[in-house]
Amino acid sequence: MKDQPSKEWYVIVNPHAGSKKTEKDWPYIMKLLNDEGFSFKSVFTEFQYHATELARKAIVSMGHRKIIVVGGDGTLNEVLNGIIIQNDVATTDIMLGVISVGTGNDWGRMHNLPSSYAGQISVIKKEKTFLHDIGKVTYMHNEKTKIHYFINIAGMGFDALVAKKSNIAKQRGASGVITYMTSLLTGLFQYGHSYIEIEKGNHKIFSGKVFSMSIGICKYNGGGMMQLPNAIPDDGLFDVTVIRKVSKLKVIRNLSRLYDGSFIRMKEVETFTGSDFIITSIPENNVFLETDGESLGNSPLIFHVLPKAIKMLIS
């Protein structure tokens, strides 16, 4: 590792984000960065989770402490994991900025980031930092225990199925809100219900059949759905929303209430807060997991908050 941290920005660009919109828009974004006087080194991701390794190497081997993500929420998630898993530098010594080019941009929505590239670059240039909570989840994948970190929301049950279907569609070249809604509606008729139990501080606080469950740091996922309307990203707590077994017709009738958060007042919905949760399910009916839109694995799931663990650049 370098003796002195680099003053250059390290820009990690996912050319495939936003149905390859990033690849098309990158020359313009690069011009804006140059026009604003940024000194930076840029690199393109080439495969899934490449951004994680690029971020880790930038910090450990190249001495970078200032990183910009150009892409969507999934790319932000990958870079975040690269920052957290390295042990050479305190995560709060890294500044992380975002130029959103994806289809969801739910993290940016939480923090009211400008919609224009110029506006987002202006936010980064001001270097106004916010110490942001991070979620840690331990889960199973192919019968092996894995750990992943997330900055926004983890979804289970129906939410995880929709994310998986959306990710398959992205691999085929489709994306956007219409693709997400198509995945949601087709998934609705494929999905049953899962029986889960939730523990908080060694106490069982919930058991029963659920349609969907969200646990996270911020309010939005799925391109603007307010799944956790009371979430605060620096309070050291997860917000949790559980939707019990509900009829498919009632889900369709109340879709609009997902966008303003009012669905949490439905009798089938329960909410919790806490820093640590354990979620288990019947082994033959494991509940599946997604974080920040990325499909991961299945239960049992152990969630833990890392309070104020990363220095984000916000408006």
For every residue of 115-174, DSSP letters joined together read: SSHHHHHHHHHHT-EEEEEEEEEEEEETTEEEEEEESSEEEEEHHHHHHHHHHHHHHTT-
Please check whether residue 277 is in contact with residue 60, taking contact to mean a CB–CB distance below 8 angstroms.
no
Separation of alpha carbons 142 and 53, rounded Å: 22
Q: What is the pLDDT of residue 1?
A: 42
The token duo for 156 is: 């289970």
Give me the residue spans of the domains in the chain. 6-127, 134-307
Question: What is the bridge-based pairing of β-strands 153-157 and 129-141?
Answer: unpaired
Separation of alpha carbons 309 and 86, rounded Å: 13
Question: What is the bridge-based pairing of β-strands 153-157 and 269-274?
Answer: unpaired
Residue 149, CA distances (Å) to 5, 14, 85 in order: 25, 19, 9
Q: What is the pLDDT of residue 285?
A: 75
Separation of alpha carbons 102 and 74, rounded Å: 8
Single out the residue of 274, 300, 311, 307 nearest to residue 137, CA to CA. Answer: 300
Residue by residue, DSSP assigns 161-211 as: HHHHHHHHHHHTT--SHHHHHHHHHHHHTT---EEEEEEETTEEEEEEEEE
Separation of alpha carbons 176 and 103, rounded Å: 5
Rg (the chain; Cα; Å): 19
Q: What is the pLDDT of residue 174?
A: 58
Q: How many CB atoms lie within 10 A of CB 37?
A: 7
CA-CA-CA-CA dihedral for 99, 101, 102, 104, to nearest 10 = 70
pTM of the full structure: 0.91
Topology (CATH level 3) of domain 134-307 = Tumour Suppressor Smad4 (2.60.200)
Q: What is the pLDDT of residue 234?
A: 98
Please check whether residue 226 is in contact with residue 260, taking contact to mean a CB–CB distance below 8 angstroms.
yes
Q: What is the pLDDT of residue 282?
A: 80
pLDDT tens-digit profile, the chain (315 residues): 445 788 899 999 999 887 788 999 999 999 999 999 999 999 999 999 999 999 999 999 999 999 999 999 999 999 999 999 999 999 999 999 999 996 678 999 999 999 999 999 999 999 999 999 999 999 999 989 999 999 999 999 887 777 776 666 666 665 556 666 676 666 676 677 889 999 998 899 999 999 889 999 999 988 888 999 999 999 999 999 999 998 888 888 998 898 999 999 999 999 999 999 999 998 767 888 999 888 899 999 999 999 999 999 998
CATH architecture of 6-127: 3-Layer(aba) Sandwich (3.40)
